[in-house]
Structure 1
Amino acid sequence: MATKTILIPTDFCVASLNTLKLALASHIDQPTRVVLIYAEYPDNSITELLFYSAENRIKALVTNEFKEALEIIKNRFEGKLLDISIELLTMNTNGYLNNYLDANKINEIYLPKTYQLKPAKNGFNPLPILKKAKVPVTEIDWGTDYKQSEQEQLIALFI
């Protein structure tokens, strides 16, 4: 069976992982690689750009609760989930996105239907551009109360 690669936006809140959980649980029936993206404009200061590292930026944004939630999902979908990577999307143009999708061999994008991403400083909401992508887009309505605490969201991932 062929491997599928999907893209899911995140804001590093545990709640944003509900889209991944439901995509794996009910929409995907083959071995899957997941690319979680966070959308952020790089700082335009020369000093900041000289020392900019996407890897360090991601490490700064990932919380312990988010790490725990990823581990729960990895364990729950062990046979179906091959890999999860987290990457930064740094521009919001169609050309950039389509090149990114090609380079990463993305087959499909899964988006939250009602959850609103909460980007940090310099972050932007990638949903409008992702909805226009050249690959299939599936919106998932998870119907969960995403106003719960991070701890309550962690518990919900077990259900």
Structure 2
Amino acid sequence: MKTILIPTDFNEASVYLSENILKNFKNESVKIIFFHAYKLTDSISDLLMLSRRSTEYGQIPESFHRACYDFKKTHQGKIAAIGIEYFYGSTMAAFRNFAEAHEVDFIYCPEAYSFRQISKYSINPDVFLNKSGIPVINTVMEEKPAVKTNTTVSLEHENAQLV
């Protein structure tokens, strides 16, 4: 099973765009993690209450949850799990720790994705995504999808060919 991290603004269109990623993993199930990045606040009281934050969860529309449910149900054999996570931080080290904790194998950033700030603390994850060292899949093609890493590297996977 491979874990794929997908940036989102919690618009249901991002769920449907992620359907293309399944073409790369024909014989293997995937775990999809939709995430949104937030910078940490400077307020000590906000930092103390970080584990109890519910404002972010309130920003996820019901249509996004419904789209995730329908997507998983439609692709039962391919999708092992769909999750929603938040990344809090503004450093590459923090992002790498986040990715390692979630065992991320690939990052999928659809061509149609463009960052949309959903809160005053939202940050554009593009810098983290492109410099993390994790293979970034930008477009999906039937045979050989484009994978962008820090350097031009050819990757070969038993179930999906990524170049």
Same fold (TM over 0.5): yes
CA contact (8 A) 1:6 1:107 kept: yes
Counterpart Cα distance in 1 of 2:97 and 2:50:
22
More helix as a share of residues: 1
Calculate percent identity across the aligned residue pairs.
28
The residue identity in structure 1 corresponding to 2:131 is K
Match of 1:116 in 2: 114
**Divergent runs of 4+, >3 A:** none
Answer yes or no: is the 8 Å Cα contact 2:8–2:35 preserved in 1.
yes
Question: Contact 1:38/1:89 (CA < 8 Å) preserved in 2?
Answer: yes
Query: 1:44-101: per-residue Cα shift (whole Å, max 9, x none)?
Result: 2222222223662442121111111111111111111111111111123222222222
Q: How many residues align?
A: 139
CA distance in 2, matches of 1:63, 1:108: 26
Quick one: higher RCO (CA 8 Å, sep 6+), 1 or 2? 1
**Secondary structure of 2:138's match?**
strand
Match runs of 1:37-48 below 5 Å: 37-48=35-46
2: CA distance, partners of 1:130 / 1:54? 27
The structure 2 residue matched to 1:4, chosen from 2, 5, 8, is: 2
User: Which of residues 94, 97, 109 in structure 1 aligns to 2:95?
Assistant: 97
Distance in 2, matches of 1:111 and 1:129, equals 12
Paired with 1:96 and 1:51, the residues of 2 have a C-alpha distance of: 19
TM-score where L is the length of structure 1: 0.77
1:12-91 aligned at under 5 Å gives the runs 12-24=10-22, 26-29=23-26, 30-53=28-51, 56-91=54-89
CA deviation vs aligned residue, 1:26-54 (integer Å, no higher than 9, x gap): 22221111111110113322222222236
Q: Which runs of 5+ in 1 are unaligned?
A: 142-159
